[in-house]
Every structure is written in C-alpha cells, then in structure tokens.
Structure 1
Amino acid sequence: MRTLSIALLVLAITGCETTSGTGRKTAAERAEEIQRYREQQAAEQEARKKAIAEGRDPDEAVREMRAALKPATPETPATPATAETPATPAAAPLAPAAPALPVGPRTGMFGLRASLLGNTLGLGESAGTSSTVGIRYFFTETVGVDLDAGFAYASVGETSLTGLSLGLGVNAYGGAPGKALRPFFSLAGSLAQVGAAKTSTTAVTLAAGGGLEYWLAPQLSVSTSLLLGLATVPNGDTLAIGTFRPGLGVTLYTE
C-alpha cells in the first residue's frame, strides 16, 4: 500500500503522464505497470511461503516462478527469400561489318572491258581507228591476261580498209598494292582479217608498251596505254612498224 500511495502521489505531482528514456507514457499505463509489479510481489511472497511449507528453497521457488511467468521471446520471422534477379540477356553479337574491298588488281578478279577511240598501227599516209571488247582475268595481284575481239578501220591513200581482229595480251602491274593509280607493262599480239572491196588479207601484229589504269571504285577502272607495234602480212611483202594507242579502256570487274 505504501508503494502504491507513493506512485499515485508522483502521478498527481507530474500531471497525468511521465517521461522515460524510451518515450512518453500516460498515467494509465504507469498505473498498470505499478499494478503488475504489486501482483508479481504478492505472487513471489506466496511462492516463498509455499516453498518453506514444503521444505524447499524459497529463492529457488521464486526463480522458477519468474521463469514460468517470463513471456517466450517470439521467433524472428524468417526473412523471405529474395527473388532471383533474372539474368540480363546477353546482347546479340553484332554482325561483323563486311571488309571494304581494296582498289587495284586482286587475285581472281574477272572483268568485262571495252576500248574506244583507239588509233591503229600506221605509217606514212596510213591511219585508222579501232575499238575492242573483251575480258580480263588476274592470275595474281600483279599479272592479268586480256582476251579481246575488235573492229578496225584504216585508210591507205584513197583506199579504205576494214577488218576484224582477235588479240591476246599480258599486263604486268607495278606500284604499291591498294593504290588507285597503277602503271602497267603490256605485251600483246593480235590476228586481224583486213579487207578492201572484194579483196582481203590477214595481218599479224605484235606490240609492247605501257600505260596507266585508275580504279574509280573497287570494281570499276579506266585505262589508257601507248604501244610500239610490228605488223606484217604473211602472204605478202608488207611490214609496218609504228605506235598505236588502244584508246580509253573501261573495265567492270567482278570477283
């Protein structure tokens, strides 16, 4: 009773609430704590008396009572399993960019070519023009072979000559690989059937010289050359030596 009276006196002095280190408590909450304390003290006294009557240690009886009254510590709830973060899908590998084709001769290149506005072999009063179409193939990065078929026109004095020709040539390229402008040495031979009015004759020509070829793109080039040639007619006594220009050549390449 004395303890309860002191607690009530404190409540009256401090108003209706007290302050503890953990927060603010109302007077009702404080009174409930005091009541629980009183009940616990009474229960301990009762346990001591009962233990003495039974011949047991009163302090041990009090400890057993406190242990029985002590609330069990609630089990800590298991931490829910964290859902696995789905693996970030690997980025699809980028398709490798197709390497740019180099300019200039390449092994295995095949081309369709044409030569226009060329000058045929001529001496003195003879002069003429020729045009050819053909193919070119590179066996290596520096050696290409031409096979051409052409049409020729020439005039000797007042006589006009026309003819068809078939030629075979070998070109050896110089310069640095990959450069757009490449010089080349050329060696060529041709067989032509030339006629005037009702007569015709066969002419054989061998020529050597050089020229330049420029690649506008990896698969397109233009070229020109200047050759020194020797032309002869096997069935006659005609022999001619001179220069001729095959004209402006255009070649479209494929792999």
Structure 2
Amino acid sequence: MRTLSIALLALAITGCETTSGTGRKTAAERAAEIERYRAQKAAEEQARKQAIAEGRDPDQAVAEATPATPATPATPATPATPAAPATPATPAAAAPAAPALPVGPRTGLFGLRASLLGSTLSTGESAGSTSTVGLRYFFNEMVAADVDAGFAFVSVGKTSVSGLALGLGLNIYGGSQGKALRPFFAVAGSLSQVGAADTSTTLVSLSAGGGLEYWVAPQLSVSTTLLLGLATVPNADTLAIGTFRPSLGVTLYTE
C-alpha cells in the first residue's frame, strides 16, 4: 500500500493529461505504468524471499525475475544519396581540313611564267630564237592574259642581230573544268628591237595558234605553243609570214 500511495502522489503532482497524441502520457497510461511497477516490485520481493529460503543468491534471483527490457530497434540507416553522374567532357572541335586546291584555270589565278627553247618568225633564210619571262592572269576559268619580255636573236643569211622583245597575248582555254590537261587557243602580238653595230631594226608581229598546258600541281604547269605569224619591218616595207616553233613554257601560280 505504501508503494501505491507514493505512485498516486506522483500522479497528483505531475497532473492528469486527458489529451493523447501530443507526446504526453494520459492519466490511464500513467496508472498502468504504476500498476506494472507495483507488480514488478512484488515479484522481485517474492523471488528474494524464496531464494533466501532455498539458500540461493537473492540478487541473482531478483535479476532472473526482472523481465529484460526489450532492445530499442536500431534506426535504419538513411540510404546514401547516389553520386551525380559525371558530366562527359565536351569533345574538342576538330579543325576543318583545308580544302584541296583545284587544278587548271580558275578566276583570279596569277602566275609567273618563263618560255624557253622557242623560235621567232622563220621564213626562208631567216631564223631566230627567243627566251622570255612574263606574267599570266586569269580573268575567269577560260580566259587569261599574258605579258612577256625577253631576249630576241634573229639571223638573215650571214647577218645576225639581237635585241629585246615585248609581247602581249590572250589565251582561251577549252576542256573540262578540273582537268589537269587543258588545250587553249592563243593570239599574240610582239614588238622587237634588234640591231647590230650602229644599226637597229624594229620588228612587229601578230600571231595566232594553239597549245596545251598541263598542271603538274595546282600551282605549277608546263605548256607548249605552236603559232602562225605575220611579221613586218616598218622601216623597210618588209612583210613576212611564217611559223613560231613550239616553245617550252613553265608557269608558277599563286592565288
């Protein structure tokens, strides 16, 4: 009765809670706890008395009579947050390959040319040779202009004269675009100043014909030309018709 009285006094001091679900114990719950506590103490006292009567250790008997407190279940571990997948590295942009240069004539193509092993107008006993250097420019894929300057040598019988020559020409190309071998039609005019000792002669000529040009590479070509020409010496009222033997031309192009 003393134990019950102490429990009821504790209940009166702490007050009675009539609302459940707020985390506080109600009066009925507190009373049930007191009743369980009283029953446990009575069982412990009974076990102690019986152990003494049987000659056993009273403390061990009390421990055996006390129910084991259930273990509080372990709180499940919070699953680890999965790591965010690594953002794949952005692949480096490949540098675009430089387009290959086409072969053959093309608009704006500019070249430095040289012509070797050719001949000037040849008629009967007269013969001559010329070597020139010059420029070539393409207005479009079919039409190019030449400007040449060089050294001229002419012989008539046993007389030989030499001098300088200046020429202008126009070439019209045929064939398919992009082909390395291209035929062309050519017209040209030249002015030569030749002489020996204290005398000099001016030679004017016009010629037309054709040739072939082969692009070894996009910026290098070789060519040969065969022309039929008309030449005159204004001071001597001389007019001659003859051919210009093929020459070997080499042209180095730049854009």
2: distance between equivalents of 1:211 and 1:180?
Answer: 14
2: distance between equivalents of 1:198 and 1:82?
Answer: 104
- 1:241 is aligned with what amino acid? I
Q: Which residue of 1 aligns with 2:211?
A: 211
1:154 aligns with 2:154: yes
- Correspondence list, 1:51-70, <5 A: none
- 2:94 is aligned with what amino acid? L
TM-score, normalised by the number of residues in structure 2: 0.71
1: distance between equivalents of 2:253 and 2:185?
Answer: 20
TM-score, normalised by the number of residues in structure 1: 0.71
Q: Deviations over 1:180-212 (max 9, x none)?
A: 100000011111111122211111111110000
1: distance between equivalents of 2:76 and 2:120?
Answer: 106
Q: Which residue of 2 aligns with 1:100?
A: 100
Q: Which runs of 5+ in 2 are unaligned?
A: 1-34, 40-68
Q: Deviations over 1:101-158 (max 9, x none)?
A: 1110111111000000001101001111110000111110111110000111111001
* Aligned-residue RMSD, C-alpha: 1.8
Q: Which residue of 2 aligns with 1:41?
A: none
Q: Which residue of 1 aligns with 2:170?
A: 170
2: distance between equivalents of 1:76 and 1:169?
Answer: 98
Classify the secondary structure of the residue corresponding to 1:235.
helix
Q: Which runs of 5+ in 1 are unaligned?
A: 1-45, 51-68
Runs of 4 or more consecutive aligned structure 1 residues displaced over 4 Å after TM superposition: 69-73
Q: Which residue of 2 aligns with 1:3?
A: none
1:126 aligns with 2:152: no
1:145 aligns with 2:142: no
Aligned-pair distance for 1:163? 1.8
* Bigger shift: residues 107-116 or 73-82: 73-82
2: distance between equivalents of 1:170 and 1:70?
Answer: 113
- Correspondence list, 1:110-121, <5 A: 110-121=110-121
Q: Which residue of 2 aligns with 1:239?
A: 239
Q: Which residue of 2 aligns with 1:252?
A: 252
- 1:212 is aligned with what amino acid? L
Whether the aligned pair in 2 keeps the contact of 1:130 and 1:150 (CA below 8 Å) is yes
Whether the aligned pair in 2 keeps the contact of 1:130 and 1:246 (CA below 8 Å) is no
Q: Which has the larger radius of gyration?
A: 2
Whether the aligned pair in 2 keeps the contact of 1:166 and 1:192 (CA below 8 Å) is yes
- 1:248 is aligned with what amino acid? L
2: distance between equivalents of 1:146 and 1:95?
Answer: 39
Aligned pair in 2 of structure 1 residues 129, 194: CA closer, same or farther (>3 Å)?
Answer: same
Q: Deviations over 1:207-255 (max 9, x none)?
A: 1100000011000000001001011112221111111035100000000
Aligned-pair distance for 1:72? 5.3
- 1:137 is aligned with what amino acid? Y
* Bigger shift: residues 237-246 or 168-177: 237-246
- 1:211 is aligned with what amino acid? G
